[in-house]
Amino acid sequence: MLLLIVTLTPVNAWWAGWLSDGFDSPQGEIMVVLGGDTIDDRTLGEMSFWRCVYAVWLWREGRFREVIVSGSNLVGQDPGAHPMRLYLLAHGIPPVAIRMETDSQTTRENAVHTARLLPTGARPVLVTSDFHMLRARRSFRQAGVEAIAYPVPDAIKRNNNWRLRWTVFLGLAEETAKLAWYRWQGWIK
Q: Which residues of the chain form beta strands (DSSP E)?
A: 30-34, 38-40, 43-44, 66-70, 98-101, 125-129, 148-152
Q: Which domain holds residue 29?
A: 11-154+163-185
| pTM given for the model | 0.90
Residue 6 placed within a domain: no
Candidates 146, 149, 184; CA nearest to 17 is 149
Residue 93 placed within a domain: yes
Residue 44 placed within a domain: yes
Per-residue pLDDT of the chain (189 residues; tens, 9 = 90+): 877 887 878 888 889 988 988 777 778 899 999 998 878 767 888 899 999 999 999 999 998 999 999 987 554 455 578 889 999 999 999 999 999 998 888 999 999 999 999 998 888 999 999 999 999 999 999 999 999 999 999 999 999 898 899 999 999 999 999 999 999 999 999
Rounded CA separation 80/117 (Å)? 17
Residue 5 placed within a domain: no
Tally of CB atoms within 10 A around 121 = 7
Residue 105's CATH number: 3.40.50.620
- Is the four-CA dihedral 31, 86, 52, 169 of positive or negative sign? negative
The domain tally of the chain equals 1
